[in-house]
Chain A
Amino acid sequence: MNIEIREMQERKAKLILSDANPTLANALRRVLIADIPSLAIETVEFHLGTIGDEAEEKEYQSSTPLFDEIIAHRLGMIPIPTDLDLFNFREECEECGGEGCPNCTVIYSLNKKGPCTVYSGDLIPVGETDLGVVDDLIPIVKLSDDQAILIYAIAELGTAKEHAKWQSTSGVGYKYYPEISIDSDKCDNCKDCIDICPVDILEESEDGEIIVSDIEKCKICKSCVETCAVGAIDVKGREDKLILRYETDGTLDAETILQKGLEILQEKFNSVIEMVEDIE
């Protein structure tokens, strides 16, 4: 399988897989969705009871419009920037044996007094300052006049196999590479295909022939084939060449995700080979 990078932005990528097949593309797709480790908040400790403010001599209640469970769940969904070289899985951590240490967990504190909206940007990493959350503007909860929130949240590595909050990719999908063939002998130049194409990739060239402008946009919907009265146009999808696209939520950049994904896929294939060898 050859991978040609057609578009590689920080949070978006488009790849052309040639000399491939749908099975292989799907294997890569599933690894990108479910096997890439990333950080997400797993444990949340709430301060219960009143929260005092000595400067204002005012007492705040720790109850909020949302249940604590819902706040904890919302915190879990927030993307946290991950450096895969720095962190171990908590249960496999050799430094602390799963107790929790700077090599496997990140602790965040959240301390806010109402009336206000609590945003993800209010989560402050304890100790390490470069691990602030990716998006600052995610609303977590709203607080009214005498409400306050005091939370410690612990983030750790995980994969989306266990919970979707560790899923760092979205919209991972592939399609066959489209192929449009136009038989210029049959074509009667009625231009119906140009009008009907939903992605507007068919146009008329200077010498009056129908040409394709951006083949990769084609959805293989075959509207043009259906509308052509003389049967001059044919659309096919190639099974040996595919277009794979995905987006990331900012925990990892698109390039790191692809590298890690291919690494994991390689490991998986190797373990299958080993298992087969063990049988003999």
Chain B
Amino acid sequence: MIIPIRCFTCGKVISNIYEVYQSRVERGEEPKEVLDDLDIERYCCRRMLLAHQDLIDELMEY
């Protein structure tokens, strides 16, 4: 769906960097490097971005 605003586990706001993360990964950077650079330290927050599937664009058609 759409990126959750905060990390489910610890509550850190992670959605504000989602679009930066997404564009940098699409440009071919390693997700690990991008997450380290954006100061996403804990693995609970890292999985929020790593495992996210953005489905809202597909849903918009209906």
Q: How far is the CA of A170 from the CA of B5 in the complex (A)?
A: 14
**Contact across chains for A137 and B10 when beta carbons are under 8 A apart:** no
State whether the Cβ of B6 lies closer than 8 Å to any Cβ in chain A. Answer: yes
Of A65, A77, A142, A250, the contact of B5 (CB 8 Å cutoff): A77
Q: Does A171 sit at the interface, judged by CB under 8 A?
A: yes
Chain B: interface residue total (CB-CB under 8 A): 22
Known contacts A66-B2, A171-B42: does B19 contact A139 (CB below 8 Å)? Answer: yes
In the bound complex, residues from chain A placing their C-beta under 8 Å from that of B60 are 65, 142, 144
A contact face: mostly helix, strand, loop, or mixed: loop
A74–B1 alpha-carbon span in the complex (Å) = 13
Structural contact, B5 and A164, CB atoms closer than 8 A: no
Write 23 A-B pairs (CB below 8 A) sorted by A numbering. Answer: A66-B1, A66-B56, A78-B5, A79-B13, A120-B16, A135-B13, A135-B16, A136-B16, A137-B16, A137-B17, A137-B19, A138-B5, A138-B13, A138-B15, A138-B16, A169-B11, A170-B7, A170-B11, A170-B12, A171-B41, A247-B12, A249-B11, A249-B13
A residues at B contact (CB < 8 Å)? 65-66, 74, 77-79, 120, 135-139, 141-142, 144, 164, 167, 169-171, 247, 249-250
